[in-house]
Every structure is written in C-alpha cells, then in structure tokens.
Amino acid sequence: MAERATTRASLTGGSAQPVTDGAPRAIVAGATGFAGALAAHLLWRNPGFQLVAVTGRSEVGRRLDDLYPRYRVPLQIEALDLEAIGAIDAAVVAYPHAAAAPTVGALRERGVRVVDLSADFRLSSLATYERWYGAHPRPDLLAQAVYGLTELHRERIATADLVANPGCYPTASLLGLAPLARAGLIADVVIDAKQGISGAGRTFDETTHQSMAGENILPYKVAEHRHTPEIEEQLAPLRAAGGARDEVAVLFQAHLVPLDQGELVDCYVTPTREVRDDELLELYVDAYRREPSVEVVAAPPGTREVQETNFCRVFAKADPHSGKVIVLSAIDNLWKGTSSQAVQNLNVMFDLPELEGLT
C-alpha cells in the first residue's frame, strides 16, 4: 500500500526527461537557489541535454521537485562529487560570487564546458574584480572566459569552454544601450533599474518578507552598485567601435518592487548629437532584426510582456525638451537575466538551436 510521504512531489504522474540520443550530459551545481533551480528546470525539458545531476551545498537528499514543486524535476539533490557523477560535458554553476570560481576550476580541469552564473568571470580586469569582491580564487581562468551576453558575443561563445553569464542588470542595460553605443551616440548615461523580489534570490530576510516587500518600493545600494563596472567594461568596446575616445562613468541605481519576476531598466542617455525618433527606431530595428530574443517595440514595454520568456523588449525615444534619449529595456530577471540566457549560451556552445527548450 502506498505510504504517505511528506514531500511536495507528486505521487502520481511524473514527467520523463525528453532526451535526444547522444545528447551532452549536463549538471547544475547549486540547484537549490532560484537561478540554479530554474536552470535545472530548463535543461530538464530541453531535449538537447541530458540532465544527470543537480547538486547543492544544502538540502542534500531532498528532491528538487519537493524544494521547487513548480519545476517538476524529480532528481535528488546531491553534494557535489565530480568523481561520483562520472563523465559530464556541460555544467551550469550557480554559486555565490567567490564561491563559484573553485568549482568552475575543478570542472574545467575535467574538461567540462561551463556556464558560470556568478560574477567571478564577468570582469576581464582582475583589479576591478578585487575592488568589488575581494581576492579572486582563480584569476588564472579569467583569460579563457567569454562574457555570455549572447547577442553581443555569439561567435566567441560558440567555441568557449567557460562562459561568464551576465548579471541581469547588465543584460537589460547593455541590450538597451548597445545600438546607441555602436552608433557613437552615448556621451553620458544614468540607469534606473527596477526589479521584482526574485532578484533578491532565496534569501530570507526583511528584503523578501511579503509583509515588508509588499506595498513597498525599495531603493538599495545607492551609489555603490557592483554592476556598474560590468556595464562599463562591456560598453567600452561598443562605444569605441562607434568612434568614442573617452570613457563614460555610468550611474546605476537599483530598486526592488513588489512582484516576482520582472526587470525594467530606464537608461537616460545624453547623446553626442541630436537624434530624432525615426532615426532611433531605424537604428534599433536594424540592430535587432535578426535577433530571435530581442523585440524592438513601439510602445513602452511592461515587464509582464516578457515574464517567463527569454525575450528582451527594447524601446527608445528622444525627449526634445531635455535633449536626452530614453531607452527602456524589459526582461525577466530570472530568465533572460539569468537562467534562460545560461541555457541559450549552452545551446550555442553545443551547436543546438539557440532557443531549444526555451520557447
């Protein structure tokens, strides 16, 4: 007779993993957090990969579909033991900053191709990393890392062994600013970002308690946001390609607002010359005409339009009164901002259709 379990996993039904023969074997290291769990969910339903293990530094022995019933991944969370797991081809590492690098190193030494969700390999400048995050555990790997904003670096990602998945704020900001930067139009920029509470992750504190986060708009990390150097470092070559000879010091300000998944960045750009709306529209449509995950829109995008998708919606408009240009960029912070972009990168790395398992 069936025994009453205490798990939230289903006692009936159950979804088998659809896997193509000979698909690369993948793991998610750090599957207990929001980002890792979603990456596991997306890999589980992606026939191009065989998800063979999910690991965690806590919750070992618990099933992932008990911890995250929504995702229905019926694997048991293991402690990370690369010997025991056996041969694998691909890994998503979803550890906190500084904790990720040693695991990424161990995986690389076994020849595993890695997408790392932490900040550990996003910055090419070691000095900049250490100013914001402290000592780097594996600076030797920095040179081989490719910045994983798919739309900017698709070709290099295809052959990369280590992809540093961008932060969600830089993802939205850079997709919004790239066309202007390449056209040499950015003299100065202020970025005001708003994000749902999932952006705080599986953290249990005043920031995420519904009675404190609900009915609130909460600015945080004023004048000290770690994503500034990441945006600046990626913006520099784009601006240079557009003819800029100077550097731009970005002001980035973030806020939590009471929803789950969604992120909007407003970029207030002082342009290098006057631009009109029709020129902006042409610039953006040209830039993204062949991009399957970027939607240029002609009305201000709400984040709900991209929730639980890999899409980024971009809208640009001139403000003749102030002489500035406003660029709005909307993503789902957990999807395109984190985990679906990680899978998008894995698809590119393993020569699969770029959006396999994501639509």
Kindly determine how many residues on this chain lie close enough to bind a second copy according to the rule CB under 8 A: 98
DSSP lists the bridge partners of residue 263 as 195, 331
Residues in region 175-204 near a second copy by CB under 8 A:
190, 192, 194, 196-198, 202, 204
Q: With the C-alpha atoms ordered 172, 329, 296, 37, is the resulting torsion angle positive or negative?
A: positive
Structure tokens at 232: 């600046």
Is 312 considered catalytic here? no
Report, in Å, the least distance between residue 277 CB and a second copy: 6
Q: In this structure, what is the dihedral angle of CA atoms 329, 330, 335, 339, given to the nearest 10 degrees?
A: 20
Instruction: Say which residues have a Cβ less than 8 Å from residue 187's Cβ, sequence separation at least 6.
Output: 248, 269, 270, 271, 272
Which of 351, 304, 354 has the alpha carbon at shortest distance from 22? 351
Structure tokens at 194: 């708003």
Report if residue 222 touches a second copy, rule: CB under 8 A. Answer: yes
Report if residue 126 touches a second copy, rule: CB under 8 A. Answer: no
Helix (H) or strand (E) holding 60: none
Q: At what angle do helices 168-182 and 150-158 cross, to 10 degrees?
A: 100
Of 315, 336, 338, 357, which lies in the binding site for a second copy, with binding defined by CB under 8 A?
315
Report, in Å, the least distance between residue 86 CB and a second copy: 29
Which of 114, 237, 220 has the alpha carbon at shortest distance from 174? 237
Residues in region 131-150 near a second copy by CB under 8 A:
none
Report if residue 291 touches a second copy, rule: CB under 8 A. Answer: yes
Report, in Å, the least distance between residue 203 CB and a second copy: 8
**Please, which residue, 109 or 319, has the CB nearer to a second copy?**
319
Report if residue 8 touches a second copy, rule: CB under 8 A. Answer: yes
Report if residue 301 touches a second copy, rule: CB under 8 A. Answer: yes
Of 293, 338, 345, 347, which lies in the binding site for a second copy, with binding defined by CB under 8 A?
293
Q: Are 228 and 189 in contact (CB under 8 A)?
A: no
Structure tokens at 145: 């890392």
Which of the following is catalytic: 80, 168, 177, 314?
A: 168
Around Cβ 208, how many Cβ atoms within 10 Å?
A: 16
Q: Are 222 and 54 in contact (CB under 8 A)?
A: no
Alpha carbon distances (Å) from 253 to 129, 202, 212, 261, 284: 19, 22, 21, 18, 24
Report if residue 294 touches a second copy, rule: CB under 8 A. Answer: yes
Around Cβ 185, how many Cβ atoms within 10 Å?
A: 23
Report if residue 277 touches a second copy, rule: CB under 8 A. Answer: yes
Report if residue 354 touches a second copy, rule: CB under 8 A. Answer: no
Report if residue 84 touches a second copy, rule: CB under 8 A. Answer: no
Report if residue 130 touches a second copy, rule: CB under 8 A. Answer: no
Report, in Å, the least distance between residue 348 CB and a second copy: 17
**Please, which residue, 214 or 237, has the CB nearer to a second copy?**
214
Report if residue 249 touches a second copy, rule: CB under 8 A. Answer: yes
Structure tokens at 300: 């201000």
Report if residue 6 touches a second copy, rule: CB under 8 A. Answer: yes
For residues 20 to 59, the per-residue mask of contacts with a second copy, x marking binding by CB under 8 A and - elsewhere, is --------------x----------x--------------
Report if residue 305 touches a second copy, rule: CB under 8 A. Answer: yes
* Catalytic positions: 168
